[in-house]
Chain A
Amino acid sequence: MSWPIIRALVAKDLTLFFRNRFFAFISVLGIVFYIGIYFFMPSSVDEALDIGLYAPVLPPIFEQVQGEGLSIELVDSVETLEEGVTEGCYLAGIALPPDIMEKLATGSKVTVDVYFAADTPQELKDAVTSLIEELAYMQSGQMLAVDISEEIIGPDMLGRQIPPRDRILPFFAIFIILTETLGLSSLISEEIESRTAQALLITPMTIKGLFLAKGITGVSLAFGQALLFMLATGGLNQQPLIILLTLLLASLLVTGIGFLLGSAGKDLMSVMAWGLPAMIILAVPAFGVMFPGTVSDWVKVIPSYYLVDTVHLSANFGLGWGDVWQNLLILLGFDIAFFGLGIIALRRKLT
């Protein structure tokens, strides 16, 4: 295997990639667009508590606590309350029993139903619980037994209160990397269909060298662009080594997928036909980060979950090697599997 030969082929592939107006355009525009959107999104968390309240009899104290970060809206039924929480109008919904005033006056136990959205952080749940207890105390003038019945609508999510722009960061990172899958697979399919691969393989270039060159091209394109994006958005401020390794593993993954798509496709259109569904599937885990509660545990079978989760945990929460090593190991396993499958498929096509 000769490095000048590999270098020549990588240089040729990069030249051809950027001569393809479509890929050159979406690559450059993509980065600019994603960076723009990132900075356009809010960088802080809205900490106002919007709470829905169903109260057949409204204790006077609830009318007095409006303002100062707390907004209480009265609704006329438990169903409306549940609907408001589900749709995200309220962070929590409180349903008071009809006999609350009597029970507070007699000092007997009060049961209050509280509804939370799926992605309500634990801190907020604790805050709402304390608020109810505090209000009950203020109303009666003494500590009373309040039984709070918590109901979660959808799967519970723990402690994920981060600004929207940081929440979307892993999504953009994976999308940039995934876009390069299409570029690489298009280069490969063109090489096969135009039979230039046949011409290459009748020079001192070996099939191993061809795979290596294509691999370097794919990883360079995907990793380079994701790196640019992370640098521009400050995504490397926390745990840069973990994030760099994750992006590298992700680039290897999409290169393996690119090999598969490249050997399956005949031209740009068929690469798109195979590639877009693959991209959508691979992007699903990122939606789970952007919109907590929208995807379930099954996303863990999608290789990109481990990329998104690691970038999210490390870039947004600063978690270290001890917390993400399993993710990285699984991602490496997927890399080996997809790279192996890609090489087998491509070798069959070339020979």
Chain B
Amino acid sequence: MVGDAIVAEDLTYRYGQLLAVDHISFKVAEGEILGFLGPNGAGKSTTVKVLTGQLQPKEGKVTVLGIDVAHDPEKVQAQIGVCFEITNLYEKMSAEENLKLFARLFGVPHFDAGALLERVGLEGREHDRVEEYSKGMKQRLMVARALVNQPSILFLDEPTDGLDPASADNIRKVILEERERGATVFLTTHDMMEADKLSDRVGFINQGKIVALDTPHNLKQQYGKRALRAQVAGPDGDLESREIIMDQPETAGAVQELFGREKVVTIHSEEASLEDIFIDITGRGLTE
């Protein structure tokens, strides 16, 4: 039976008067990838900081791997890996030195930095100083550092933000490999495509509250509207766009009317994206 890797109950955090996380409760199962989506300032990073023991909750309780994080953060931190949103590597040290330092901090015996660097595509550059790396390389090294102790839970904060497609793909591949290994992944992002591709479930956080939490499929079923999108030739030959909402009583008539009255050039069905659903629920976009 699969247990819960993370349990948050009534979790609340305030920065002075500002309520950053507002009484949220959720569970993440062992081996699950949970995508945690929300716009900037929604409370994603604060939630991660509380879950990883960097901040103490003002109210509520967080249990990670069965340990109360507020009481024993060091014990939790020994079993997790964290990839921060902002690069924080030792730039004057090489990739290998960075990884070896953290392996020593975690007390990992017989650590093989080369193998880990190969996994993230940094083989051959292990002795170069990090200051000579591109942004994508640094981000891959950040992910590698989070894996040094073979964590039971991996917290990834915007791991592919601003990366080239190749680097982003490499990181996504590693995330899926980690799930195969049995690790739980808490993925914070505002990239709904990435969350959709990788996550078993996604949680929407807005203004410190979780407003939806389910599988991407269920959310689309529950909130999304399927549509037909057509391109038609206008009177002067220019292409114009038409949209017909599906699964409605009037859908069939609308399709018939479209083909009867207009010259249809292309037509395809379209599924609601997570961003559409987020906007539908919260009235604001993920990138706001």
B88 touches A199 (CB 8 A): yes
Q: Is the CB of B105 within 8 A of A196?
A: no
A204-B105 in contact given A198-B54, A199-B145 (Cβ < 8 Å): yes
- Given the known interface contacts A16-B92, A20-B92, A194-B88, the answer about A200 and B105 at a Cβ–Cβ threshold of 8 Å is yes
A202 contacts B91, C-beta separation under 8 Å: no
The interface bits of chain B over 57-75 (1 if a CB of A lies within 8 angstroms of the residue's CB, else 0) are 0000000000000000010
Contacts A15-B93, A204-B74, A204-B77 given; does A198 touch B84 at CB 8 Å: yes
A45 interfacial contact with B, CB 8 Å:
no
Report if A203-B106 is in contact (Cβ < 8 Å); known contacts: A8-B101, A12-B101, A198-B54.
yes
Using Cβ atoms and an 8 Å threshold, which residues of chain B touch A204? 74, 77-78, 105-107
A residues less than 8 Å from B91 (CB atoms): 194
Q: A244: CB under 8 A from chain B? A: no
Residues from chain B with Cβ under 8 Å of A12 in the complex: 90, 93, 101
CB distance from A199 to the nearest CB of B (A): 5
In chain B between 126 and 144, which residues have their CB closer than 8 angstroms to a CB of chain A?
none
A72: interface (CB < 8 Å): no
> Nearest B residue to A201 by beta-carbon distance?
B54
Contact with B along A122-163 (1 / 0, CB 8 A): 000000000000000000000000000000000000000000
Let me know if A2 and B107 touch, CB within 8 A.
yes
Assembly CA distance A195 to B49 (angstroms):
14
Task: Report the minimal beta-carbon distance from A214 to chain B, rounded to whole angstroms.
Answer: 15
Say yes or no: is B242 at the interface (Cβ < 8 Å to chain A): no
Instruction: Tell me whether A199 and B84 are in contact (CB under 8 A).
Output: yes
> Are A19 and B92 in contact, with the CB atoms below 8 A?
yes
Is residue A4 within 8 Å, beta carbon to beta carbon, of the partner chain?
Answer: yes
Complex contact A198–B88 (CB within 8 A): yes
**Which residue of B is nearest A196, CB measured?**
B88
Contact B74 A195 (CB under 8 A): no
Do A202 and B107 touch (CB < 8 A)?
no
Which chain B residue lies CB-closest to A20? B92
Contact of B84 among A15, A19, A195, A206 (CB under 8 A): A195
**In the bound complex, how far is the Cα of B105 from the Cα of A9, in angstroms?**
8
Beta-carbon contact of B92 and A202 below 8 Å? no
Nearest-Cβ distance from residue B144 to partner chain A, whole angstroms: 13
Q: Is B184 an interface residue (CB 8 A)?
A: no
Question: Taking the complex as formed, is A216 at the interface, i.e. its CB lies under 8 A from any CB of chain B?
Answer: no
**CB pair A5 B88 closer than 8 Å:** no
Question: Given B53, B82, B105, which contacts A5 in the complex, CB threshold below 8 Å?
Answer: B105
Q: Which A residues lie at the B interface, using CB under 8 A?
A: 2, 4-5, 8-9, 12, 15-16, 19-20, 194-196, 198-206
Interface positions of B (Cβ within 8 A of A): 52-54, 74, 77-78, 80, 82, 84, 86, 88-93, 97, 101-102, 104-107, 145
With A199-B88, A206-B74 already in contact, 11 other A-B pairs whose C-beta atoms are closer than 8 Å: A4-B107, A16-B90, A20-B92, A194-B90, A194-B91, A195-B84, A196-B88, A198-B54, A202-B82, A203-B105, A204-B105
